[in-house]
Structure 1
Amino acid sequence: MAANKLSPQEVVALYPAHDYSLSSLLQSRITAVPDKSFLEYEDQRWTYAEFGQTVDQTAAWLRKRGLKAGDRLGVFSQNHPTTVILLFAVAKIGAIMVPLNPDFGVSEARYALSNAEVSGIVCSPRNWQRAQEACREMSPQPWIVLNQSEDNAIGVPAMGDEITPTDAIPADEASGDATCLFIYTSGTTGSPKAAMHGQRGVVLTAEGFVVRMHLQPDERALCVLPLFHINALFYSVGGTLAAGATLVLSSRFSASTFWSVVHETRATTCNLIGAAASILIKRDRSEFRPGHCMTKMFIAPLDENLVRVFNDEFGVRDLIECYGMTEIPGAISNPFPGPRKLGSMGRISPHLSPDYPQPQLKVVNERFEEVGIGEHGILLVRTPTVMQGYYRDAERTADAFHDGWFITGDLVWRDADDFYWFVARQRDVIRCRGENIAGAELDRVISAHPDVLEAAVIGVPAELGEEDIFAVVVARPEKHPTAEDIGQWVAQQLAPIKIPRYVAFVEALPKTPTQRVEKFKLKADSQLFKRATKIQIVPHTTRRGDAVR
């Protein structure tokens, strides 16, 4: 890294102005640094100019496939360069990318693909059979193409076999106002919602991440988080592009090889979730590679021990703690230059454009009246990076806002220095290993077990931070399901991350007069946890386990 660091404003000023579309942001960087490495993956490398050319050719192929402005393209894959390429190619023609969790089971994928009404699907060889099953009953049937060739995928074409350099490059139909991404997020009702994001919001967030992490043009940003989350898409991909830096893409996070990858790729910065960082500090130090180039990381949540180990043993000096939601990317963070407050969500995180208002925060009571310093209340956010709404869900979109402010549903408090501190989530969402798991979805799935009368799922503190999934189950009369039965049932239908960690059987669930389960009473029952059985099953798939060996 250069000895003399540039300010975020100086970094962005290195490049020509753009119009807040993804295509114009990319072209701005191509114009300034065409021969610089932008994307690296294993033994593959694209300069900025080469990446732009690949995006154009991919956009031409999508046009030939029939994709047009406003259409949706599903992407169902582990991290792969084609996902990054498709983000910009889809945006170039004014269409919308719908990235899915590659661990989705058939039912989860079916819901998202059907809800988004995708015209086509690009998937990894590992996921094509699930993709085919998921869209079997869709009408019209979306086309399916692999993102790389696979001998076993008989009759399924691959992108590389269809894209030809001779195809006419389509005119750029992108605009800052155009929707470019659907990011699926869980809600209190359990049915996933597609948060719609426009190109301008992505670009503002990307340039804002240059501020949050003081990214430099010579940065080498390692991306190990999944490309169906805003963290990887908006911060890692977007922030790297905004800084004119280099993105080093990894297919997944692997604790056992993390430091070897950091050392070998000469990565200087990386984003992690707190659970992954906690795993790293518990690993054998023989896996650590001294002499690496990593100087900064974007991690939440942090604690004193994690900071100590990363600072003193791993030699990573700058750890930036933040707060975020799919709907409001880039609004709150501990300031890179300081001061920083360990354990806090941070302060308002600014973006760089003078043409748009800066984010605003306030804490309110149930009557939406602002509360004072130190008082608990619900966090409201107003920011130009806010989602455009939930697709095909006007009611929940309306419920998510009050007078132009997004309602996070999280209880927080503000201190005298305008730092915000998280208290609890109001919503029935379990934060597990960096993902939001809808409790209501698991309630339904477990309650559908033939030996189960009803079930309620709650989150309990996890050893590595965030929460573990705890299922409280009422069995049918004269039936005796085991904790392993419940785990296997969930494993057959949902992603591995949604398998409960603990199961307890009870005679009845506490309920309100209107028969709503009072989950807060389950969380407050200290004896319930003592009666729980820890799941010991091996899931039907090791997809999630492969990611953290």
Structure 2
Amino acid sequence: MTAAHHRSPLGRATLGDQLRRHARNQPDKVAFVAYDAAGDRTTTTYGELDARANRFAHLLLGHGVGGGDVVAVMARNSVDVVALYYGTLKIGAALTVVNVLFGKQEVVQQIDHAQPAVVVASEEFELLVPGAPLVFGPSLTADLPDTEPDAYVDENDVAMLVYTSGTESSPKGVLIPHRNYLISTAPAWSWGLQTGPEDTWLFVMPFFTIAGLGSMTTLTLMGATLVLPATVDPSGALGIIARERVTVIAQTPTFYLALSGQPDFGADAVGTVRRCMTYGGQVPPAVIEAWSAAAPDVRWGTYWGQSELSQLGTVGWFATLDDIPGGDPSWIGRPVTHLEARVVDAEGNDAEVGELICRSPSVMLGYHRDPERTEAALGSGWLHTRDIVRVDADGNLFFQDRLTDMIKSGGMNVSSQEVERVLHTHPDVLRAAVVGRPDPYWSEAVTAFVVPRPGREPDPAAVIAFCREQLAVFKVPKVVHVVGELPVDAQGKVLKRELRKVELPT
């Protein structure tokens, strides 16, 4: 093979190539429907998106950005961010997105760690970003060509530098190459999540997470239509779902809970939705019941994944809770077609309950500038997920807990999620989170935080008695705290580290 042939796009598989193909094959297909803060609606076709991405590519080239560099962006979800992302990929650089909820110190920490060649920000975040970032605006790419940039990109080049959510420890920068999505993640979405170009997604996952950046990547690779609201307030979301005839939603249980609690929730609002996918926790039974009443044809997809796996690992589908194997709501489905999974004990032996370890073309390259944690995660030849699961005889997987969330109480292991599942069945409890709190006698005391259902007032003693009827005595919460809300991150995942350190009444 000649060097020229090797460097040509003839048989190359990169993300920017696929956007160019969409622009050639379906230039008028709507890629994005965006709503601004005032509620004004704009559309962007795949042809227009490719042209905007090319202009951003030329902008970056003009600022000296090249292959192997990192571009950082701090902005809310927008088509401009998507165009910047694809423009970055078209010149062989990688994009990292800074959490818009960060304070200045956290922003500086991520920028220092990522070491970007250029930072781009929206005007509202300009002063949070160190140095002099480029600022999104009409003049930023004006007069730049919309032709394909002259740059070589390899499918093994890093496409995205995604920082983990840090719900348990300091965030890690996950390095994901182009090839992962084209040969593994996108096909797994097609077969496992039954996703295709005919879908219209309500897209509220922030781009600074793997759920946001990764899902956007997969859906644009497939040529689907994404609906981007400026805000994610439940009332506004319901109106957009009805107006755009949204067919798919993917979000954490918190979001579905919020939608189902709106006065306008019902068939008129969500009647076009056919698939509701959820991750990052268990959907309370009350939420399933509310959605089933409003949209009887909706199917629920439970899935599990990690940034380190380029997002997707397992998938399972159900229409009602009766469809879940064994009636166990901790079910996260079965491995997608591209995933080889094992459940192992502390010695690495196959086990019914243990750590989930994986091999897949989706596995990350490693952690950015962190060889020790990379070796710990990948050194055995398997990705160590640090998630504890149970596997049944049919290969179904049931999420037990994060290794860091497993409670050691009185010498016994307690799964916080098992206790939470019981709490979610209490008639007065809407949401629950369970953590281990330091205790001089138990080492860690099983401690529950519960949010009441509307109009209800859970009695802590009664909740504890309820748990005693269904759990082994060592798993029963030692104390129950009734709270108005649980601390969550931008995706709605409960921040258990915050619950472990909150000051409680004595």
- Report TM bin, short chain: 0.7 to 0.9
Q: CA deviation at 1:365?
A: 0.7
2:19 to 22, 26, 31: 26
Matching of residue 401 in structure 1 with residue 378 in structure 2: yes
Matching of residue 226 in structure 1 with residue 206 in structure 2: yes
Paired residue secondary structure (1:345): strand
1:362 to 331, 342, 349: 342
The one-letter amino acid of 2:88's match is V
User: CA distance change for structure 1 residues 347 and 526 in 2, over 3 Å: closer, same or farther?
Assistant: closer
1:212 to 177, 192, 210: 192
Greater shift, 171-180 or 330-339, is seen at: 330-339
Give identity over the alignment, percent: 22
Alignment of 1:146-545 (within 5 A): 146-148=135-137, 160-166=139-145, 169-185=148-164, 190-203=169-182, 204-235=184-215, 237-285=216-264, 289-290=268-269, 292-300=271-279, 301-328=282-309, 329-334=311-316, 341=325, 343-350=330-337, 358-371=338-351, 375-427=352-404, 465=431, 467=433, 510=439, 519=444, 529=479
User: CA distance change for structure 1 residues 195 and 216 in 2, over 3 Å: closer, same or farther?
Assistant: closer
Query: Residue 205 of structure 2 contacts residue 491 of structure 2 at CA under 8 Å; is this kept in 1?
Result: no
State the alpha-carbon separation in 2 of the partners of residues 397 and 304 from structure 1: 38
User: CA distance change for structure 1 residues 31 and 89 in 2, over 3 Å: closer, same or farther?
Assistant: same
Query: Residue 273 of structure 2 contacts residue 295 of structure 2 at CA under 8 Å; is this kept in 1?
Result: no
Q: TM-score, normalised by structure 2?
A: 0.75
User: CA distance change for structure 1 residues 74 and 316 in 2, over 3 Å: closer, same or farther?
Assistant: farther
2:74 corresponds in structure 1 to 76
Query: Residue 51 of structure 1 contacts residue 85 of structure 1 at CA under 8 Å; is this kept in 2?
Result: yes
User: Mind listing any 5+ residue stretches in structure 2 that lack a counterpart?
Assistant: 1-8, 36-40, 408-415, 449-473, 493-506
Q: CA deviation at 1:163?
A: 3.5
State the alpha-carbon separation in 2 of the partners of residues 69 and 117 from structure 1: 14
Greater shift, 82-91 or 160-169, is seen at: 160-169
Pairwise CA RMSD: 3.6
Q: TM-score, normalised by structure 1?
A: 0.70
State the alpha-carbon separation in 1 of the partners of residues 278 and 210 from structure 2: 14
The one-letter amino acid of 1:62's match is L
1:50 to 48, 51, 55: 48
- Any idea what the Cα deviations from partners look like across 1:56-115, whole Å, max 9, x if unmatched? 111001111221111111111111111111221111111111112110111211111100
State the alpha-carbon separation in 2 of the partners of residues 239 and 536 from structure 1: 33
User: Mind listing any 5+ residue stretches in structure 1 that lack a counterpart?
Assistant: 1-15, 136-140, 149-158, 351-357, 431-457, 473-508
Query: Residue 54 of structure 2 contacts residue 146 of structure 2 at CA under 8 Å; is this kept in 1?
Result: no
User: CA distance change for structure 1 residues 281 and 290 in 2, over 3 Å: closer, same or farther?
Assistant: closer
- Any idea what the Cα deviations from partners look like across 1:300-348, whole Å, max 9, x if unmatched? 3335433332222234512111111111121211158998645411111
Query: Residue 251 of structure 2 contacts residue 491 of structure 2 at CA under 8 Å; is this kept in 1?
Result: no
User: CA distance change for structure 1 residues 271 and 533 in 2, over 3 Å: closer, same or farther?
Assistant: closer
State the alpha-carbon separation in 2 of the partners of residues 349 and 272 from structure 1: 19
1:94 to 80, 92, 95: 92
State the alpha-carbon separation in 2 of the partners of residues 167 and 223 from structure 1: 27
Greater shift, 420-429 or 283-292, is seen at: 283-292
Q: CA deviation at 1:51?
A: 1.0
Paired residue secondary structure (2:374): helix
State the alpha-carbon separation in 2 of the partners of residues 302 and 365 from structure 1: 28
State the alpha-carbon separation in 1 of the partners of residues 384 and 316 from structure 2: 21
User: CA distance change for structure 1 residues 520 and 88 in 2, over 3 Å: closer, same or farther?
Assistant: farther
- Any idea what the Cα deviations from partners look like across 1:177-220, whole Å, max 9, x if unmatched? 00011111156983221011111113331232122232232221
User: CA distance change for structure 1 residues 184 and 165 in 2, over 3 Å: closer, same or farther?
Assistant: same
Query: Residue 278 of structure 1 contacts residue 465 of structure 1 at CA under 8 Å; is this kept in 2?
Result: no
Matched residue pairs, number? 429
